[in-house]
Structure 1
Amino acid sequence: MSARGPVQVIAVSGGKGGVGKSNIAVNLAVAMAGMGRRVAVLDGDLGLANVDVLLGLAIQRNLEDVVAGECALADILVEGPAGIRVVPAASGSLRMASLSGAGLTGLINAFSDLADELDVLIVDTAPGISEPVVTFLLAAQEVLLVICDEPTSIADAYGLIKLMNRNFGVNRFRVVANQVRNDQEGQHLFEKLTRVTERFLDVALQYEGAVPYDDNVKKAVQRQRAFVDVYPRARASQAVRTLAERADNWPLPSSPRGHLEFFVERLVGA
């Protein structure tokens, strides 16, 4: 990927909490870094951050300090496994959890300073459909929805798709099934979701594969490590590396779509 081309921005979401979204985001980042990409992870849960905890990183400053004007975005970056860079958010901050309007615009625009240093930005969004979640989904080129085998997961994923489609015209979503027994179960979950969306919405869903249930994932979380890094031969690790290879081949846009977007200058330049 050319350093002068667009930065690939992938927002990982799902609507429901507890589907393993943050774990997918972090491990996808590590896997793409292992392919030679320069990757950053933005913890998009602005008020209840957990990416730094997931990776056992020591954080001195976070996005709240950037929003307050106390430091630049580059000052809060922390290096993680495989050389990924983590943009940590605040934990237990009502101010950041309710950030809106100009605050979110300024935050997204601040990333332009990192354009020359990145190939990929992965945004781990918060659960739910708050304004920061919607803004990050609109500002990304790709929306990767994580679903699992729970009725509430399918219902919440559908709710998020419905909101983004009817209110903002987003009509393409990529889907990965997490914590399933095998790819067939993942495909079945995807078909469940598509049956509902095809009936009520004008959207295109793309199945990007499944990450199987794997005891090594829990072990890695307990060790505060990325499972792709510490258990590279685990079934979940192999699945995420396959997802990373697919993501690396997703087409990059050549122009903005009209929303507030990350790295819009780079898109215009392309």
Structure 2
Amino acid sequence: MNYRYTRRYAGKLQAVIFDWAGTVVDFGSFAPTQVLIDALAGFGIDVHLAEARVPMGLAKWDHIRALGDMPQVAARWQTRYGRAMSNGDVDAVYEAFMPLQVARVGQYSQLIPGALETIAVLRAQGIRIGSCSGYPRIVMDTLLPIARERGYSPDCTIATDDLPAGGRPGPWMALENVNRLAIADVAACVKVDDTVPGIAEGLAAGMWTIGLSASGNEVGLTHEEWTALSPAEQAARRAPAEAKLYAAGAHFVVDSIADLPAVIDEINARLARGERP
């Protein structure tokens, strides 16, 4: 006799797993990009901010590799060195990049407006706060105490080099949060991120996903620059960011972490109706 076991989670959300830069800290996600531009400048390679943003969300070594594989950047490296960028060259750039990133991550990592208020709302609902990042552990060990001083202390933080399986767009960092936070079902989790690899990570882990457009890498403005725009200008900058995140599979896209509570309520309502991610 064949038995078929089915189970559909219909409880409330138990955890929200946040990215870091562009999501909870660093409006516009400048720390990973500007520092990488400066590191490559030390090798005589000029990279524009828009180019540096293209692979955002990947682990930093992978980010450098992807950037070096972009045709226009590859051409500059070829002109400068007479050969293609090798993995050894990526190692050298990474080794130059890391000390700069550690030294300057706090400079860029102010909390995004509304972050503490939103996290307080989530905690009041009994929701655990997880996190993961494209930053390696050496950077997270610098950033965590800075964030704590500024009022943000997640229940779990996984860095991109903490796990042997690797980082985004794979599901492993998000799933390690599930493991460490002892969450009963991945459908009870939400992954919040401002990048395509971060959305892919959440989907691969079987979670609800929320993309952040205005505060993140896709718009790429400081908070001051964003708020100085007119509503029409904001709409024009927001639209391609929203489209890209929805195309990546995000279930919802909002401007920033400040807009999260209403979406959490909507997901809880969907779960109560028996829906899954």
| TM-score bin, normalised by smaller chain | 0.3 to 0.5
Q: Indicate the structure (1 or 2) with the bigger Cα radius of gyration.
A: 2
TM-score by length of 1: 0.41
Q: Which has the higher helix share?
A: 2
Q: Which has the higher strand share?
A: 1
